Amino acid sequence: MTVKDYMQQLGRQARAASRDMLAASTDDKNRALVAIADAITANRELIIQENARDLENGRANGLEPAMLDRLELTPARFDGMIEGLRQVAALPDPCGEISDLKYRPSGIQVGKMRVPLGVVGIIYESRPNVTIDAASLCLKSGNATILRGGSEAIHSNQAIAKCIAAGLESVGLPASAVQVVETTDRAAVGELITMAEYVDVIVPRGGRSLIERISNDAKVSVIKHLDGICHVFIDDDADLDKAFNIALNSKTHRYGVCNAMETLLVASSVAEKILPRLATAYAEKSVELRGCDRTLAILPNINAAKPEDWDTEYLAPILAIRVVDDMTAAMDHIAAHSSAHTESIVTENYTKARKFMALVDSASVMVNASTRFADGFQYGLGAEIGISTDKIHARGPVGLEGLTSQKWIVFGDGEILN
Amino acid sequence: MTVKDYMQQLGRQARAASRDMLAASTDDKNRALVAIADAITANRELIIQENARDLENGRANGLEPAMLDRLELTPARFDGMIEGLRQVAALPDPCGEISDLKYRPSGIQVGKMRVPLGVVGIIYESRPNVTIDAASLCLKSGNATILRGGSEAIHSNQAIAKCIAAGLESVGLPASAVQVVETTDRAAVGELITMAEYVDVIVPRGGRSLIERISNDAKVSVIKHLDGICHVFIDDDADLDKAFNIALNSKTHRYGVCNAMETLLVASSVAEKILPRLATAYAEKSVELRGCDRTLAILPNINAAKPEDWDTEYLAPILAIRVVDDMTAAMDHIAAHSSAHTESIVTENYTKARKFMALVDSASVMVNASTRFADGFQYGLGAEIGISTDKIHARGPVGLEGLTSQKWIVFGDGEILN
């Protein structure tokens, strides 16, 4: 069977299974999640064994240590999979919710019902625990799923896939509701992202190059974010203690995450007061600072920022700093350089807070809070399948609701259009 | 200047104007709409003159009568443009609405704010009144717009564009908030739908072939529908008077519209009672019937349906009829043949009504109502930019809200992540 035929078959099966998933009750879905958790627990030895095979092959093929690390199902990650399944089972079911039901002058009653998207394709790198993570969110939101993990994790993923299938079947749901692609042929990805007949949305999880390639080639809608170039702006009217804490936390709480601050903007009137204090704190955490000319006038010992620094997501202990005239200049900088992920202003000024909130065009806009809060769990979504910096469909952290759609429903009593 | 350079320039200007539109108040936008209506009124002679030029060229180039008809700005269409602008000015502004604002355990307050998408590209055929229709909805929803109408309407559209620009400038908004593409080169469409840097969404309006071509080639999200193969299912438990009225209205109220019924499904237990009565009524309206074998057994004088009839959008006085065993068989037929636009069940049975509503995966699902109600005005949206049969972003009739997005907003008091 060619890769194309194989993927088309998965697609047809997923489309058929999506009808069963639409009919599945909340209880069916929750029992499936718990049954999968039980199957994973019961097959711990086998899964760890298959993971060891992947690790061995990875080492033999000279995989980088960082990739080997992500590939490993450590005891904590293994327990995390089981815990995650139980947590998703405990979340409210987004499907079937009816809202905005109103009578119209014609007599019909019109509203919206939240429903699954249908078939979700997930493409991710060699992190076997993502298989469970993604499968559980798609299952709970009533979607059928096709999962395509990195080829280095193929044995781990196949072992996990067997547990998922067993769990689904034990509660009477079709095993094809969650299908893990069995071929490591890269052509499978190309098929998955172009078979719009069978797949409603693609969620790529992984590095920028993977996501960029997928969104360039996809014929199916993609929920994605490419960069997280997040800004904090310290306004003239900032409370400088809040500013200090937020600027420090946004950069240094974790470096390799998309919601970390990459550029700090400071109003010129407060720059001399706040920057030396911040520079000392950053130095203690070994954060390299790269400043504009006006920053260098205050902090002469740091490096000069080059133009490309304003457009770089460091994902590292490096911070670009720019002194700006005022909030307007800060918003101009953000409009020119932001990746539209998350921006925060620190200010006590009511009018400026309101203006910044209204005019900054990013997925998350904050006043007096660390950019690190831009996260599905912190926002109360209960789970996160990804983050979107697009404006269509889902924006910012995407939880179960982002894996659903709303259809219109009409209750009538024999009404016809005059 | 090449077409590519020209379109890139429009894109840059639109992106810049979208920031001004984001900052525009509700009053600014409403005053602009009224000012445009005034400019259109004041330039009636000129616009009609330019429209006459387009009509003359069209006739000289052998345009079909149906196309010439759509191209003509009749007095009714002209007045409709002005009336439409005033109606859109009277609609509530969707932008800035804040919802779901809640405190989280961390102390931050998280909610969503409705905001414009940014830049909307509209591609349409040679109907000059669509220029005003589309421009007004994009303007009211706070978006910058690039309009690309059919080349046959170029002079009419340029004359209308001047009125739009004058209206925008008279209230201090940039003329580049609404740009009408000045070249008739087809390459302009190719640029518009691929410059994702400058365009957030494309709304194609027109025939199936136009929309299909655009969605195949686009690198930007497209809000679209291809077909309207709508079904009415008359259940065993239908009130047969309601069934008669709904089946007649759904087919014969208007033939050339996407929400007209194209296939009637009838439960076998009521087929003998309802079909002859319906056949007489359809015959009076000269609707050609094409039936399955079981339908032919009841109505021997109609044509036999071929397999392709179940997948055809007639947009004409033709109706396919199929007798099915029960609701499950009807839903199977719908899942196999529907274009996911609108389906309606006629039944008095509570359980079946509820099940049909939950399990039919179309943009609009109805109980005891004519499919003709699937329309933005009937649903209370106040206006309609198009209809979407996709599940991503907007579904079904798309009004002002479909031209917006929601960003996350966070109000803090200096919170940092622990």
> Going by DSSP bridges, is the β-strand pair A364-369/B404-415 parallel, antiparallel, or unpaired?
parallel
- pLDDT bracket for residue B95 (50, 70, 90): very high
Boundaries of domain holding B360: 230-373
Residues A175 and A200 placed together within one structural domain of the fold: yes
Question: Which of 234-273 (B) contact A at CB < 8 A?
Answer: 239, 241-242, 245-246, 248-249, 253
Q: Which of A308, A323, A337, A360 minimizes the C-alpha distance to A228?
A: A337
> Which residues of chain A lie closer than 8 angstroms to B365, CB-CB?
113, 407-410
Which value does ipTM take for this structure? 0.94
Residue contact B412–A368, C-beta within 8 A: yes
Q: Shortest CA distance to A67 belongs to which of A80, A82, A57?
A: A57
Residues A189 and A145 in one domain: yes
Q: What digits encode the pLDDT tens for the residues B219-242?
A: 999 998 888 999 999 999 999 999
B392 touches chain A (CB under 8 A): yes
B365 has a pLDDT exceeding 90: yes
| DSSP helix/strand/coil, B91 | coil
Q: Which of A338, A178, A329 is nearest to A261 (CA)?
A: A338
* Chain A residues lying within 8 Å of B23, measured CB to CB: 358-359
Evaluate whether residue A387 is within a structural domain: no
Q: Does residue B42 lie within any of the structural domains?
A: yes
pLDDT at A227 over 90: no
Residue with tokens 């839903």: B331
The Cα–Cα gap between A309 and A320 comes to 6
- Shared domain for A267 and A331, answered yes or no, is yes
Burial of A1: CB neighbours in 10 Å, binned 0-12, 13-18, 19+: exposed
Sort out which chain A residues have CB atoms less than 8 A from B335's CB and list them: 19
The whole-angstrom distance between A257's CA and the closest CA on chain B is 13
Same domain, A123 and A201: yes
Residues A293 and A406 in one domain: no
Residues A16 and A57 occupy one common structural domain: yes
In this structure, the answer to whether residues A215 and A244 fall within a common structural domain is no
Taking CB atoms and an 8 Å limit, are A115 and B361 in contact across chains?
yes
In chain A, the residue whose alpha carbon lies closest to the alpha carbon of B344 is A410
CATH code of A283's domain: 3.40.309.10
Long-range contact pairs involving B376-383 (C-beta distance under 8 Å, separation at least 24): B378/A104, B378/A106, B378/A108, B378/A110, B378/A417, B379/A104, B379/A110, B379/A408, B380/A102, B380/A104, B380/A110, B382/B87, B382/B88, B382/B91, B382/B92, B383/B87, B383/B88, B383/B91, B383/B137
**Is the pLDDT score of A332 beyond 90?**
yes
- In this structure, the answer to whether residues B219 and B235 fall within a common structural domain is no
Tell whether B175 and B294 lie within a shared domain.
Answer: no
| Gap between the terminal Cα atoms of chain B | 55
Pairing verdict, β B396-398 and B386-388 = antiparallel
Taking the C-alpha atoms of residue A409 and residue A169, their distance in angstroms, rounded to an integer, is: 32
Residues in B closer than 8 angstroms to A113, CB to CB, are 357-358, 365
- Residue B381 inside a domain? The answer is no
Mark whether A127 and A270 lie in a shared domain. no
Put simply, the answer to whether B102 touches A369 (Cβ < 8 Å) is no
When pLDDT is averaged across residues B23-40 and rounded to a whole number, the result is 98
pLDDT tens-digit profile of A66-121? Answer: 999 999 999 999 999 999 999 999 999 999 999 999 999 999 999 999 999 999 99
Cβ B363–A117 below 8 Å, yes or no?
no
Question: Is A335 close to B221, i.e. CB distance below 8 A?
Answer: no
| Domains contained in chain B, number | 2
Mean pLDDT over each residue of chain A, to the nearest integer: 96
CA dist B247 and B245 (Å) reads: 6
- Chain A interface, best mutation among B371, B393, B416, by max A CB count within 10 A: B416
**Is the overall model pTM greater than 0.80, yes or no?**
yes
Examine the domain organization and report whether A340 and A309 are in the same domain.
yes
Q: How far is B394 from chain A (nearest CA, A)?
A: 7
Shortest alpha-carbon distance between residue A283 and chain B (Å): 19
CA–CA distance, A247 with A232 (Å, rounded to integer): 7
User: Mutual orientation of helices A26-42 and A154-170 as an angle, nearest 10°?
Assistant: 130
Q: Which residues of B touch A366 (CB under 8 A)?
A: 108, 409-412
Mean pLDDT over A179-199 rounds to 95
List, in order, residues 6 or more apart from B354 with CB less than 8 Å away: none
Interface residue of A373, A381, A388, A418 to substitute, partner B, most B CBs within 10 Å = A373
Contacts of residue B105, defined as CB under 8 A and 6 or more positions apart, other chains included, come to: none
Q: Is residue B7 part of a domain?
A: yes
B293 in a structural domain? yes
CATH number at residue B53: 3.40.605.10
Averaged pLDDT for residues B235-259: 97
Residue A397: is its pLDDT beyond 90?
yes
Tell me whether strands A261-267 and A303-304 are parallel, antiparallel or unpaired: unpaired
Is residue B154, in this structure, part of any structural domain at all? yes
Structure-token pair, residue A72: 């490993």
Residues belonging to chain A: 418
Strand A396-398 and strand A386-388: pairing? antiparallel
Same domain? B143 vs B168: yes
- Give residue A209's pLDDT band: very low, low, confident or very high (50, 70, 90): confident
Instruction: Report yes or no on A106 lying in a domain.
Output: yes
Q: Which of residues 193-222 of B touch A (CB under 8 A)?
A: 200-201, 216, 219, 221
Task: Report yes or no on A402 lying in a domain.
Answer: yes
